[in-house]
Amino acid sequence: MPHIRHIPSLAAALLALACSPVHAEGQVDPATLYELSTAGSSTQVKAGGSGVFVLSIKSKPGAHVSDEAPLKLELKGSGVELPQQKLALKDSVAKKAEGQAFVDPRFEVPFKADAAGKGLVEAKLTFFICSEQLCARQQKTLSVPVEVL
């Protein structure tokens, strides 16, 4: 009957294992600390005309985009020409006001569309979102379709 003695210790081990994810669930998901938006981006452009790709990061209360860790925005265009394809935090049009600790980055990148058809601006964004509890690297990919008339 030595097997019966092991059942309580096995049950205790399983209970401990089952309870361990509860501790991990108490942690904040960094993706809930901000919102990304492409509002304001040109989605229709006349052939031979130009448009703008807009990307903003809006941090939620208690969080901020790190201005010390690297922020990288890489753009690719299909059916549109992007003169600026690699951007950093310094390229943000949003600047800190006096006395402001952090600013939410906003990028406005012009593009040209030469021929009628379907176009696409693809963005790969890497940045760090921080709060008092964490500072986590985030990598997001977004795309904005552009109809060239």
* pLDDT reported for residue 11: 42
Q: What is the pTM of this model?
A: 0.79
Domains in the chain (CATH in brackets) are: 29-148 (2.60.40.10)
The model's pLDDT over 99-124, given as tens digits with 9 standing for 90+, comes to 888 999 999 999 999 899 999 999 99
User: 32-39 long-range contacts, Cβ below 8 Å, gap at least 24?
Assistant: 32/60, 33/59, 33/60, 33/62, 33/63, 33/129, 33/131, 34/58, 34/59, 34/60, 34/63, 34/65, 34/129, 34/138, 35/60, 36/125, 36/140, 36/142, 38/142, 38/144
**Model pLDDT, residue 63:** 96
State the pLDDT at residue 26: 63
Regions of the chain where pLDDT drops below 50: 6-24
